[in-house]
Structure 1
Amino acid sequence: MVNIHHPKEHFKIYLETQGTIFPAPNFNGIADAQMLGEALQQFDCDKDMLINILTQRCNAQRLMIAEAYQDIYGRNLIDDLKEKLSNHFKQVMVGLMYSPPFYDAHELWHAVKGVGTEENCLIDILASRTNGEIFQIREAYSLQYSSDLQEDIYSETSGHFRDTLMNLAQGTREEGNTDLAMAVQDATVLWEACQRNTGEHKSILQMILCNKSCQQLCLVFQAFQDISGQDIVDNINECYDGYLQQLLVAIVLCIQDKPAYFAYRLYSAIHDFGFHNKTIIRILIARSEIDLMTIRKRYKERYGKSLFHDIKNFASGHYEKALLAICTGDNEDY
């Protein structure tokens, strides 16, 4: 008899999540727009002013600042930031000015249309977003680039990796009640799929991981552990390789503990890839109002290091200041 316990910890995790950026009190979008205009018009550009304003306002407030900026100066704030700034600091400041779905769409577009496909970007975004977020990303992608996200993924990737991404990009994961008996059945199917590793079994594996609800999959993963005596992530790592392996593992980890997944990705980006700027910028901006403070807690718990101090040790100048401002919120203890 398979012994399955309801994964209360899974729900607790998401009740605990907290970002680092919140709405600024006494907000005045017109005054902020004027200060940004003055900062950008200076010969050397007052980068500290840009950081102080854009990293201390929530996304909705930044969008209102952009509207006020357009009204006052008759120019687009993003265009002016791109013109006046450079390198990674520019990527941070410009990235902050997109709404979340448009920022994800922007990152996905460059991942598939840039020089070489950035598979890890596709994995990070599509494995971690909810149905509603995926729908908004597809809409933003179409509006911003007059292109279809799923068609572009299809043309730039291949094999079961492509099939799994395409499934995730539909944003049709089930939502609702859990079924213990079905969890045992799915766990058995997953175990068989991992052992046989045929094309058909890879398809079955991705269909379960991409379509079952998060709550249901938590039960499935526990049943898998009880049936096989092995963690499903360890089993996937043994049976698969390449980007498909990374994607399947990302799906599982995001369902089990999304902040921990992003802590792992940040640690890898900082320590394994020589400070992979694109990954670090993307995660910090995208998670800043969702769970970045929780990510910082997971980072220190798992790696015994502070994300704040790791960034400080590897970045420099105004780029460092901007990343730390996003990362810090009102607490530097993690």
Structure 2
Amino acid sequence: MYGCWEHVLPLQLGSRGTITEAAGFNPDADIHKLREAMKGVGTNEAVITEVLTRRTIAQRQRIKEVYKQTIGKNLLDDLKSELSGNFEKVVVGLLMTAPVYDAYELRNAIKGAGTEEACLIDILASRTNAEIKTINEVYRKGASLSFAGMFRYHKLPRNYRLFTNAGRDESDSVNEALAMQDAKEIYEAGEARWGTDEVKFLTVLCVRNRKHLLRVFDDYKKVSGRDIEDSIKREMSGSLEEVFLAIVKCIRNKTEFFAERLYKSMKGLGTTDSILIRIMVSRAEIDMQDIKAAFLKLYGKTLHSFIKGDTSGDYRKILLELCGGEK
């Protein structure tokens, strides 16, 4: 299932993650540990957790390559045959490159009769042009799996298609006159009319650069007397409201967006494990340190304590490793 994706290179990652490059990295030693953990009756999940959560994406890819060369089998397939449940889902994610994991999650979100819109929001509202383009390339490489085109066309809900163009201006320029014009046009497309012109909202929010949009949000409050988030809540509902709010939140502060998503995945009765796993896996090597700080600032409790109180067993242990400690 994953063969055609193996050679997609990982994206350039930042340095605010909880996972950093392991010193003295020895893939052969790691392979020996993993083989021992899977040998015989039962599986040593603690060893699997120790190896995979203390290696970077690039180092994990090297482990997979050497495993295939020396053992002649696919590491991911061997692990999947030994594992189950949410622990398995975390391990599967950790063994993929960043764009492959995004594509894998998107594919699962839109296959079948329904759509997991939370996944579309988490990924499409927060990724850069380069990341979106790489995800598109993953889909093209997956043509033999009969899902090429689903991301860009008929299976993707209409409200998300503009994201796939990767057409956001990523400069730092702010056109003050255009910002006021955008603010007025958004107001006229929503608060000032009966019904909402979704296309106008999307065109502005998915194309303009971050600094320009922050100015648009300020101007919007001058024009309408409300924060744009309040207007979105008044004018929209359901998944449409969610996606527009997600865009605005990612523009204002991406780490707070992810902190809020994590909080909502765990608060109250039950846990939305799909969101919890996706964010913990995909952000561990990018900005998890910042997300943890934002979580503490917003909710007065550590992310570590929330995960510890809301999960259990080996699933809890692997997530806490990705979280990177109490503080």
Normalising by the residue count of structure 2, what TM-score does the alignment of the two structures yield? Answer: 0.90
Distance 2:168 2:159 in 1: 12
Shift, 1:189, TM fit: 1.0
Distance 1:259 1:78 in 2: 30
1:308 aligns to what?
304
Choose from 318, 321, 326 the match for 2:317.
Answer: 321
Conserved 8 A contact 1:184-1:220: yes
Say yes or no: does 1:169 pair with 2:164.
yes
Which amino acid in structure 1 is aligned with residue 223 of structure 2? I
Say yes or no: does 1:156 pair with 2:155.
yes
CA gap of 1:212–1:156, structure 2 versus 1, over 3 A, is same
Distance 1:24 1:74 in 2: 25
Conserved 8 A contact 1:17-1:293: no
Distance 1:198 1:204 in 2: 14
Counterparts of 1:8-87 in structure 2 under 5 Å? 18-87=16-85
Say yes or no: does 1:97 pair with 2:95.
yes
Which amino acid in structure 1 is aligned with residue 183 of structure 2? A
CA gap of 1:203–1:57, structure 2 versus 1, over 3 A, is same
Distance 2:44 2:229 in 1: 47
CA gap of 1:59–1:197, structure 2 versus 1, over 3 A, is farther
2:260 aligns to what?
264
Determine helix, strand or coil for the equivalent of 1:22. Answer: coil
Determine helix, strand or coil for the equivalent of 2:215. Answer: helix
Moved more, 116-125 or 199-208: 199-208
CA gap of 1:17–1:56, structure 2 versus 1, over 3 A, is closer
Distance 1:134 1:207 in 2: 17
Choose from 227, 233, 240 the match for 2:229.
Answer: 233
Determine helix, strand or coil for the equivalent of 2:79. Answer: helix
Distance 2:129 2:93 in 1: 23
Distance 2:95 2:192 in 1: 47
Moved more, 191-200 or 314-323: 191-200
Say yes or no: does 1:112 pair with 2:110.
yes
Determine helix, strand or coil for the equivalent of 2:43. Answer: coil
Distance 1:302 1:265 in 2: 12
2:326 aligns to what?
332
2:288 aligns to what?
292
Shift, 1:172, TM fit: 1.1
Distance 1:75 1:281 in 2: 26
Conserved 8 A contact 1:106-1:141: no
Structure 1: tracts of 5 or more residues without a match = 1-15
Moved more, 75-84 or 172-181: 172-181
Distance 2:271 2:170 in 1: 37
2:212 aligns to what?
216
Which amino acid in structure 1 is aligned with residue 155 of structure 2? E
Query: For 1:13-50, what per-residue CA distance to the aligned partner results, in whole angstroms no more than 9, with x for missing partners?
Result: xxx98211111111111211221122122321111110
Distance 2:269 2:209 in 1: 33
Distance 1:238 1:81 in 2: 48
Distance 1:89 1:226 in 2: 49
1:6 aligns to what?
none
Distance 2:195 2:189 in 1: 9
Distance 2:265 2:309 in 1: 14
Normalising by the residue count of structure 1, what TM-score does the alignment of the two structures yield? Answer: 0.89
CA gap of 1:83–1:305, structure 2 versus 1, over 3 A, is same
CA gap of 1:307–1:145, structure 2 versus 1, over 3 A, is farther
Choose from 270, 275, 286 the match for 1:274.
Answer: 270
The percent of aligned pairs where both chains have the same amino acid is: 39
Q: Which has the higher helix share?
A: 1
Query: What count of residue pairs does the alignment treat as equivalent?
Result: 312
Shift, 1:114, TM fit: 4.2
Determine helix, strand or coil for the equivalent of 1:221. Answer: helix
CA gap of 1:283–1:225, structure 2 versus 1, over 3 A, is same
Choose from 124, 127, 134 the match for 1:129.
Answer: 127
CA gap of 1:251–1:78, structure 2 versus 1, over 3 A, is same
CA gap of 1:99–1:186, structure 2 versus 1, over 3 A, is same
1:10 aligns to what?
none
Which amino acid in structure 2 is aligned with residue 23 of structure 1? E
The two structures, once aligned, show a CA RMSD in angstroms of 1.9
Determine helix, strand or coil for the equivalent of 2:16. Answer: coil
Which amino acid in structure 1 is aligned with residue 121 of structure 2? I
Which amino acid in structure 2 is aligned with residue 24 of structure 1? A
1:4 aligns to what?
none
Shift, 1:84, TM fit: 0.6
Conserved 8 A contact 2:195-2:235: no
